[in-house]
Chains A and B, each alone.
Chain A
């Protein structure tokens, strides 16, 4: 079973703070790295699917970077807002048609 680790497990920040999380994954057999946002009582939604080493993707105030050689990805949120409160999941794709998920980072942004 592949090991995908996310840190921190949870995070509590104030509105306006910038924050970042880490996802580490096996550096071999890399195909893609997914980030999902899961708000309470809703479905997880894809943020990014990253495939190339050095890739950086951005969606509004959220961005992600990818280092496939050392096996990690960072997710950054600039100027956190209460609506950013959610669990952020990363998932590793080794090209076997399934994803291996980390345990997630739970973010709470207080007004």
Chain B
């Protein structure tokens, strides 16, 4: 089945540790996105990539890093510099020309910092 796979679903991290969330898609989409959801807030964009080997910061990129070495993969690293990392993280992809396309989402990863 075509879709987006995020892993792990749940992740616990100690303060000061970096952690990487995986996002893989087999939809042949060029663009991929990472969003963060906190209680009472809308989805906020962390990073996005429109093409392999290129990515841009979203609204809340501080404390995060990404890579886009393959079209199918867009991993997100939550670094120790991220002050409030406990959140729900959603990965999405789309075809180019977002204005007429739609986002396809994974099921999300919930990160808890202990």
Contact = CB atoms under 8 A, between A and B. Distances in A.
Interface of A: 1, 4, 31-32, 34, 36, 41-46, 49, 51, 89, 91, 93, 95, 97-104
Given A43-B104, A43-B107, 17 more contacts: A32-B98, A34-B102, A34-B103, A42-B107, A43-B4, A43-B106, A45-B105, A46-B104, A49-B102, A51-B99, A89-B42, A95-B99, A97-B50, A98-B48, A99-B45, A101-B43, A101-B44
A49 B100 contact: yes
A46 B102 contact: yes
A89 B43 contact: yes
A97 B98 contact: yes
16 contacts: A1-B59, A4-B42, A34-B103, A43-B107, A44-B103, A46-B102, A89-B43, A91-B43, A93-B99, A97-B48, A97-B98, A98-B45, A99-B103, A101-B44, A103-B41, A103-B42
B66 interface: no
Nearest to B58: A98
Interface of B: 4, 31, 33, 35, 40-45, 48, 50, 58-59, 90, 98-108
Contacts, number: 60
A21 to B, nearest CB: 14
Nearest to B6: A43
A28 to B, nearest CB: 15
Given A97-B50, A98-B45, A103-B42, A32 B58 contact: no
A89 B105 CA distance: 13
Contact of A98 (B98, B106, B107, B108): B98
Contacts of B106: 43
